[in-house]
Structure 1
Amino acid sequence: MLILVTNDDGVRSPGLRALALSLGEIGRVVVVAPDRNRSAIGHALTLDHPLRAEEIKPDVFAVDGTPTDCVNLGIHGLLSQRPDLVVSGINCGLNVGDDISYSGTVCAALEATLMGLPAFAISLDTSLFSHADLSVSTRFAKKLAVDIMEKGLPEETFLNINVPFGPCSGVELTTQGKRNYGESVVVKEDPRGRKYYWIGGTENGFEDLPGSDCNAVHRGYISVTPLRTNMTNDKTYAVMQQRSFACMGDID
């Protein structure tokens, strides 16, 4: 089978390299990834300038764009056939709870699913790959890839995988948790007295929600969270049906 691999940490990330090597044991892997770190770029798509892709070695392309760009370009421009599977990762750092809306890693898998392809994103709880054991993540990614190719995924569904740092106690099917970001903007002053700002300056916590991805990883389990492309809130839709919007129709 043909597997498209991407990430948001950049084409030279150790996590991407380890993932590609592992998946290469079960099929042909083509890497199409950003030429530099594009973390926390979400589902951004480049529309205001052309993209360039450099084949830095056989089946490995560096793109001067976002992870979403890479999936689009890989499927529609660089590959001679549609891939059977798209895998995004291994990300340096978790993508749990509200992180998924910011994550280029997760949104690359979302983009593939929007194109009708099975996909999953995988992240590891670490800030530096030099101190991390990637073997658990790569083994799980390979087994999951085989399982998806044999059994498929429900329509409009992709998976978000998060792997704990250190010993792994097992695997849990989870729901999306809730992050507590706290004071996430740090204000500093440069030598000339001008203010500058860092976003994401404090340590993030999470709410204690049983069955959530945050709780599972905290307890040493790999979390497997099914996500959907259709973001309609079905419960709220039913409630909103009881309200009248007739008065809002007259806006003159």
Structure 2
Amino acid sequence: MRDLSDHRILLVNDDGIDAPGMKVLEEVVRQISDDVWVVAPDGNRSGASHSLSIDSPMRVCKLDDRRFAVSGTPTECTMLGIHELISGRRPSVCISGINRGPNLAEDTAYSGTIAAAREATQLGVPAIAISQVFAPGEKNFTVGEDRKIHWETSQRWCLPLLQQLLRLELDPGVFLNVNFPGVPSAEVKGVKVTIQGQRPPGCYIPEKRLDGEGSPYYQIVLSYEDGESHPDSDLRAIADNFVSVTPLKLDLSSLEYREKLIAMLPESL
């Protein structure tokens, strides 16, 4: 059995280097290895997805020998950590999170947390994205709104789960998406390996508002709707108070539709 203390661990996130979830994650992984590096945005970059700062220079603030705040996106934090900031051997794993809020179903398309783990996978470093789901409440809210979140659930379940996951050998192009349910730790029923779910359309809505001077602007509102019925989905697992572990992959090809397309599309037009 592998000695987990040999791991060189890169931590990234999209909520910012001082976010509560990063503090929880640092506390957890330092119980696994002493070789921990943190490269995270200098502020909140939620919803950044896999974006890059094409037109803006990235500044790096070295907080100590192994902690760096970056004026860039989560994807760029992963790049800088692996290519530039970690001296000597490459990290053996990249862990992204712990995100404040869910990364389930279509959330993965918008998430900087997921993108940071995806980038590590593209660079050949095994990766895990971790999120703490909000406590149940209103379905309509804006990004950054203060909502109840059970960080103690992440604190309780993250260490034993990582002790298992870090012993696995991931297939090339595969990374893991972990979500802790939004309930007190004692109410968590266990762990389920899941598939990516799908909510009904319209869970992200641009809402028109007026500022203090009466000028209109738009704010993205998260309006999550129920509707996922697949028993193996991440949404179902979280609804049933299980930790969800979903293997995701870089290859977005639809192999099933490719076969149909080959039959329907002539080679010469």
The reply to whether TM is greater than 0.5 is: yes
Are the equivalent residues in 2 in contact too, given 1:206–1:214 (CA < 8 A)?
no
Offset at 1:2? Answer: 0.9
| Structure 2 CA distance for aligned equivalents of residues 74 and 206 of structure 1 | 39
Which of 12, 16, 20 aligns to 1:10? It is: 16
Task: Return closer, same or farther for 1:149/1:221 CA change in 2, 3 Å cut-off.
Answer: closer
The answer to whether residue 255 in structure 2 is matched with residue 231 in structure 1 is: no
CA-to-partner distance for each residue in 1:101-123, whole Å, 9 max, x for gaps? 00000111100011111111011
| Greater mean deviation of Cα atoms: 44-53 or 34-43 | 44-53
Match of 1:126, as an amino acid?
F
Match of 2:10, as an amino acid?
L
Task: Return closer, same or farther for 1:129/1:224 CA change in 2, 3 Å cut-off.
Answer: farther
Question: Any residues of structure 2 matched to 1:100-111 within 5 Å, and which?
Answer: 100-111=108-119
The answer to whether residue 84 in structure 2 is matched with residue 61 in structure 1 is: no
The answer to whether residue 104 in structure 2 is matched with residue 96 in structure 1 is: yes
Task: Return closer, same or farther for 1:136/1:190 CA change in 2, 3 Å cut-off.
Answer: closer
Corresponding residue number in structure 2 for 1:197? 218
| Structure 1 CA distance for aligned equivalents of residues 109 and 119 of structure 2 | 13
| Structure 2 CA distance for aligned equivalents of residues 95 and 17 of structure 1 | 19
Secondary structure of the residue that 2:207 maps to in structure 1?
strand
Task: Return closer, same or farther for 1:201/1:116 CA change in 2, 3 Å cut-off.
Answer: closer
Match of 2:128, as an amino acid?
F
CA-to-partner distance for each residue in 1:59-79, whole Å, 9 max, x for gaps? 211100000000000011100
Which of 179, 196, 200 aligns to 2:199? It is: 179
Quick one: percent identity of the two aligned structures? 37
The answer to whether residue 175 in structure 2 is matched with residue 158 in structure 1 is: yes
Offset at 1:179? Answer: 2.1
Q: How many residues align?
A: 248
Corresponding residue number in structure 2 for 1:34? 41
Are the equivalent residues in 2 in contact too, given 1:15–1:90 (CA < 8 A)?
yes
Secondary structure of the residue that 1:39 maps to in structure 2?
coil
Are the equivalent residues in 2 in contact too, given 1:118–1:148 (CA < 8 A)?
no
Runs of 5+ consecutive residues of structure 1 not aligned to the other structure = none
Are the equivalent residues in 2 in contact too, given 1:15–1:129 (CA < 8 A)?
no
| Structure 2 CA distance for aligned equivalents of residues 75 and 50 of structure 1 | 18
| Structure 1 CA distance for aligned equivalents of residues 164 and 212 of structure 2 | 56
Match of 2:28, as an amino acid?
S
| TM-score, length basis structure 1 | 0.91
Offset at 1:199? Answer: 1.2
Task: Return closer, same or farther for 1:143/1:152 CA change in 2, 3 Å cut-off.
Answer: farther
| TM-score, length basis structure 2 | 0.85
| Structure 2 CA distance for aligned equivalents of residues 185 and 46 of structure 1 | 24
Task: Return closer, same or farther for 1:194/1:208 CA change in 2, 3 Å cut-off.
Answer: same
Question: Any residues of structure 2 matched to 1:213-228 within 5 Å, and which?
Answer: 213-228=234-249
| Structure 1 CA distance for aligned equivalents of residues 264 and 234 of structure 2 | 34
Runs of 5+ consecutive residues of structure 2 not aligned to the other structure = 1-6, 136-144
| Structure 2 CA distance for aligned equivalents of residues 246 and 130 of structure 1 | 54
Q: CA RMSD in A?
A: 2.1
Match of 1:111, as an amino acid?
E
Which of 106, 112, 123 aligns to 1:115? It is: 123
| Greater mean deviation of Cα atoms: 64-73 or 119-128 | 119-128
The answer to whether residue 166 in structure 2 is matched with residue 145 in structure 1 is: no
Corresponding residue number in structure 2 for 1:170? 190
| Structure 2 CA distance for aligned equivalents of residues 133 and 192 of structure 1 | 38
| Structure 2 CA distance for aligned equivalents of residues 197 and 132 of structure 1 | 26
| Structure 2 CA distance for aligned equivalents of residues 141 and 245 of structure 1 | 51
Offset at 1:205? Answer: 3.6
Are the equivalent residues in 1 in contact too, given 2:24–2:154 (CA < 8 A)?
no
Corresponding residue number in structure 2 for 1:76? 83
